[in-house]
Amino acid sequence: MKAKEGSITIWLSLMLVLILALLSAAFYSVKAEAGRARCAVAMDLALFSCLARYDRDLFDAFDVFFVDGGCETAAFRPDQVASRFEEDFSANLHPAAGMRRMFGKDLLSVSLTGHGMTGFTLATDCGGDVFAAQAVAFMKDTLALSAISAAVGAGNDAMAAADRTEAGSAGGPDAYAGLLSQSEEAKRKNEEEKAGSLVPVRTEADARAEAVPEDFVNPLPFIERLRELSLTDLAAGGPQNVSPKVSELPAECETREKENGIGVIVLPEGLDSIADRTLFCQYLLMHFGDFTAKKENAALDYETEYMLGGKENDRKNLEKVVRKLLLVREAANTASILADSGKQAEITAASASIAALLLLPEAEPLVRLILSAGWAFCESLVDVRALLMGRKVPAVKTAETWQVPLAAIPSMLAPGGLDVLARDVPGGMSYRDYLRGFLLLAGRSRTVGRSLAAAEARLRTAGRENFRIDHMLGAVTFEAEVFCEGRVSFSEERTLSYDDL
């Protein structure tokens, strides 16, 4: 059989070369884009892996997500965080590396040639607003709208009450001391008048004093004795109920020079609004201890009081809060006395008797003022005791909710005297309601800074000696350079924060 001869023209050869070149370029382009896509996926997975290493202790205690940038050391180690990112990125860039494969091969040739953490956000950046933003977000996710509205209302009531009183009440111990001095002078003159007469003389002052009922007890000396005692011990039910803890850790954290983040920090809007500020204060009350609800392993038992007082021991911080409470309650109780005609009649009768006993009838208006202030003080002291016992006190008193009769003031000096008088009024304001108002008045910058200090102090007291709140990462930016197919290189930069998740 005759063999057939084959041939190809030069034109067809050239066309075949062009077609093969086009297919090769298309194949190479597809591989390059596949390498770029793999790089992007590896970057996302590495970022997720980085943020997945959030500090468990911080989350368990405070329900916020931050990565320990110190890697459990006392020094800030961004290089160590970047090294972990490299491991995660490389593992996701070559997912089959180190695995035995029976068939097939990796058709992509990609390799990591450079990487670095180009930006990060710390919990303490912007005065701690990064931390506050997560706290507010947590509260919005967990609280119902009705609870938010109730918290805002209670906070506004406490703020209004605190605003009404910053200067203290009139008719204090100085006024009564001056009155006693005048009384001694009047008694001396009365005795001189009697001594100057040859026959026994019954003066007008004596007649007024004799008209005072025999069973009448002047409450003013007892009020002055109450003022001289430790108000903190009285309100707490005794010195044994006040925490003796002293710790310099919160103050050390608050005043320490802190690390700063790098890059643009994006914060949610509205952190200065009254609603978000109230939510943050509610967050503080949920996650930090106070006199009525202590937290385990806290450096100071009264963490919330520390945010208001800023002192290194629990007693001083509690003293400051007790004084604020007394001022608030005295203003409200004084208003209640002035609005109650029955109490005004009691004060008028008692003032007349006291002025007669002091031989100062002309001082009756001043005595009335001093007695009104003293009665309001006694009622306020019982109010504060009730609050520290975990009970509720109405913002404005009525005759039915008033606790201290004028005749019962002397009994307040007896052991447990305040406990007997203290009542729980449903629908009133609790100790934490007042703390919320004080925190709102204290300003966000102060409360945020001290809350961060208290958080660090608690974790360090619990055994995390190297924990530093200003090493906590809330957002990270990484850049990676990749060489693909031995010819092209490209870089990928991504930012991820917990707000994005």
For the chain, the domain total comes to: 2
One-letter identity of residue 4: K
Q: Is the pLDDT of residue 146 over 50?
A: no
> pLDDT over 70 for what percent of the chain?
82
The two tokens of residue 273 are: 């609004």
Whether residues 231 and 167 fall in one domain: yes
Read off the pLDDT of each residue in 245-261 and give the average, rounded to a whole number: 91
CA distance 54 to 67: 4
The runs of H, that is alpha helices, within 389-462 are 417-421, 431-442, 444-461
- C-alpha distances in Å from residue 494, one per residue of 48, 174, 215: 11, 68, 84
Whether residues 157 and 100 fall in one domain: no
In a domain, 137, yes or no: no
Whether residues 107 and 248 fall in one domain: no
In a domain, 129, yes or no: no
Tokens 């298309």 belong to 26
Domain assignment of residue 416, given as a range: 143-181+213-461
Q: What is the pLDDT of residue 322?
A: 96
- Dmax over Cα atoms in the chain, in whole Å? 176
The two tokens of residue 346 are: 């009691």
302: Cα separation from own chain's centroid: 11
Complete DSSP assignment for 349-398:
HHHHHHHHHTT-GGGHHHHHHHHHHHHHHHHHHHHHHHHHTT--B-SS--
Q: Per residue in 282-304, pLDDT tens?
A: 999 999 999 999 999 999 999 99
- C-alpha distances in Å from residue 312, one per residue of 234, 257, 296, 460: 22, 19, 18, 16
Whether residues 298 and 386 fall in one domain: yes
Neighbours of 479 (CB within 10 A): 16
Read off the pLDDT of each residue in 237-250 and give the average, rounded to a whole number: 94
Whether residues 404 and 489 fall in one domain: no
- C-alpha distances in Å from residue 350, one per residue of 25, 181, 464: 106, 20, 61
Whether residues 371 and 272 fall in one domain: yes
In a domain, 194, yes or no: no
Whether residues 266 and 344 fall in one domain: yes
Q: At what angle do helices 364-388 and 173-195 cross, to 10 degrees?
A: 140
Residue 489 pairs in a beta bridge with 483
CA distance 328 to 305: 16
Whether residues 76 and 173 fall in one domain: no
Tokens 């701690």 belong to 128
Complete DSSP assignment for 124-186:
THHHHHHHHHHHHHHHHHHS-HHHHHHHHHHHHHHHHHHHT-SS--SS-HHHHHHHHHHHHHH
Whether residues 291 and 415 fall in one domain: yes
Whether residues 52 and 176 fall in one domain: no
Tokens 């009155």 belong to 179
CA distance 68 to 471: 6
First CA to last CA distance, the chain: 77
Closest CA to 46 of 115, 81, 92, 112: 92
Q: What is the pLDDT of residue 166?
A: 42
In a domain, 234, yes or no: yes
Whether residues 173 and 78 fall in one domain: no
The pLDDT confidence band at residue 185, using thresholds 50, 70 and 90, is: low
One-letter identity of residue 386: A
The two tokens of residue 234 are: 């009285």
Whether residues 454 and 494 fall in one domain: no
CA distance 208 to 360: 10
Q: What is the pLDDT of residue 66?
A: 96
- The more confidently predicted of residues 430 and 491 is 430
The two tokens of residue 44 are: 């996302």
Q: What is the pLDDT of residue 199?
A: 46
Q: Please enumerate in sequence order all residues whose Cβ is within 8 A of that of 365, keeping only pairs 6 or more positions apart, or say none.
A: none
Query: Average per-residue pLDDT in the chain?
Result: 85
Residue 488 pairs in a beta bridge with 484
- C-alpha distances in Å from residue 220, one per residue of 171, 175, 211, 426: 11, 11, 19, 32
Q: Is the pLDDT of residue 37 over 50?
A: yes
In a domain, 206, yes or no: no
- The more confidently predicted of residues 200 and 69 is 69
Read off the pLDDT of each residue in 38-49 and give the average, rounded to a whole number: 91
In a domain, 235, yes or no: yes
In a domain, 1, yes or no: no
Q: Is the pLDDT of residue 201 over 70?
A: no
Quick one: 32 exposed, middle or buried, by C-beta within 10 A (0-12, 13-18, 19+)?
middle
Read off the pLDDT of each residue in 15-41 and give the average, rounded to a whole number: 83
- C-alpha distances in Å from residue 318, one per residue of 164, 240, 371: 21, 14, 28
CA distance 261 to 258: 10
Q: Please enumerate in sequence order all residues whose Cβ is within 8 A of that of 444, keeping only pairs 6 or more positions apart, or say none.
A: 132, 271, 272, 277, 280
One-letter identity of residue 302: Y
The pLDDT confidence band at residue 186, using thresholds 50, 70 and 90, is: low
In a domain, 132, yes or no: no
CA distance 345 to 357: 19
Q: Per residue in 387-444, pLDDT tens?
A: 999 999 999 999 999 999 999 999 999 999 999 999 999 999 999 999 999 999 998 8
